[in-house]
Amino acid sequence: MLLNVVQSIAPDNYVAFTFFIGYIAMLAASVFFFVERNSVSDKWKMSLLVSGLITGIAAVHYYYMRDYNLVTGDSPTFFRYVDWILTVPLMCVEFYLLTRLAGATKSLLWKLIFASTWMLVCGYIGEAFNVDGSTSHSVTWGVLSTLGYLYILHSVWMGEVAGLADSSGSEVVKKGVRYLAWFVLVGWAIYPVGYMCMDGGWLNGIFEASTLDIWYNIADAINKIGFGLVVYTIAISESKKELAK
């Protein structure tokens, strides 16, 4: 088993190094979010629990991905998508939790989960099953994946999530949701770019797979931990306001 193989990371192995740093950073963030649940009011505890689960799940997968990369030298595409299929829908759940007090419904929750799952499943099919490097295969599944991404993007910027944040009566929630929307727009943008650099993609050959792993690892850490820190800031701020009343 990969976990039983003791490997040292060479000083010039930047890919494995970023997997290791990603693992440590995600683990530390998870501990922080779980501990800080005691610092917020009951209505915000679930938001911090989800933040801790996102980084905790990612930490476990980064531990596996580091070992996989050290042993095989290959990009851990399967493990990465397993991580995303669990953590990205949870990131979308945060939008529901933050706007729930403003009237967010379970329907919105399931639409966000479905859109994020659709986005990732289509992306995985386009990347993992493109055995002959077909451009048509890559583009078809890439377009289908993008539909899910565009739905989430629209919802958080000008759709249902944005409207609920504006009507929440809280400037902290309104600004926080807007910050999270920037993560979706800018932070998530690296993933479709990376997809297009794979075999059959429009940008194929611009970046090596190992280079993409480095960028993916950095983006994952920023997006997941940053997402959680924004949620934490909202929870702390709103909890203090409730205590002051």
- Is residue 1 in some structural domain? no
* Cα(146)–Cα(40) distance, integer angstroms: 36
Task: Give the CATH number for residue 142.
Answer: 1.20.1070.10
CA dist 50 to 175, 192, 224, 232, Å?
Answer: 20, 25, 11, 11
- Is residue 2 in some structural domain? no
pLDDT at residue 6, rounded to an integer: 43
- Is residue 6 in some structural domain? no
Phi, psi of 204 (to 5 degrees): -55, 130
- Is residue 166 in some structural domain? yes
Q: How many Å separate Cα 38 from the centre of its chain?
A: 24
Answer yes or no: are the C-beta atoms of 53 and 90 closer than 8 Å.
Answer: yes
pLDDT in tens, the chain (245 residues): 444 444 577 777 889 899 999 999 999 999 999 999 999 999 999 999 999 999 999 999 999 999 998 888 888 999 999 999 999 999 999 999 999 988 999 999 999 999 999 999 999 999 989 878 888 999 999 999 999 999 999 999 999 999 999 999 899 999 999 999 999 999 998 898 888 887 776 677 676 666 889 989 999 999 999 999 999 999 999 998 877 76
What's the maximum distance between 2 C-alpha atoms anywhere in the chain?
64
Q: How many Å separate Cα 64 from the centre of its chain?
A: 17
- Is residue 41 in some structural domain? yes
Number of domains in the chain: 1
* Cα(43)–Cα(21) distance, integer angstroms: 32
* Cα(94)–Cα(107) distance, integer angstroms: 14
- ∠ CA 181-55-69, nearest 5°, is 110
- Is residue 160 in some structural domain? yes
- Is residue 5 in some structural domain? no
Quote the DSSP letter at residue 243: H
pLDDT at residue 78, rounded to an integer: 94
Looking from the CA of 219 toward its CB, the CA atoms found within 13 Å total 21
* Cα(235)–Cα(228) distance, integer angstroms: 10
What's the length of the chain? 245
Which residues have CB under 8 Å from 69's CB, separation 6+?
15, 16, 19, 75, 76, 213
pLDDT at residue 242, rounded to an integer: 78
Place of tokens 């706007």: 99
- Is residue 152 in some structural domain? yes
Which residues have CB under 8 Å from 108's CB, separation 6+?
96, 99, 155, 160, 161, 164
pLDDT at residue 202, rounded to an integer: 67
pLDDT at residue 13, rounded to an integer: 84
pTM for the whole structure: 0.92
What range defines the domain where residue 148 resides?
A: 13-244
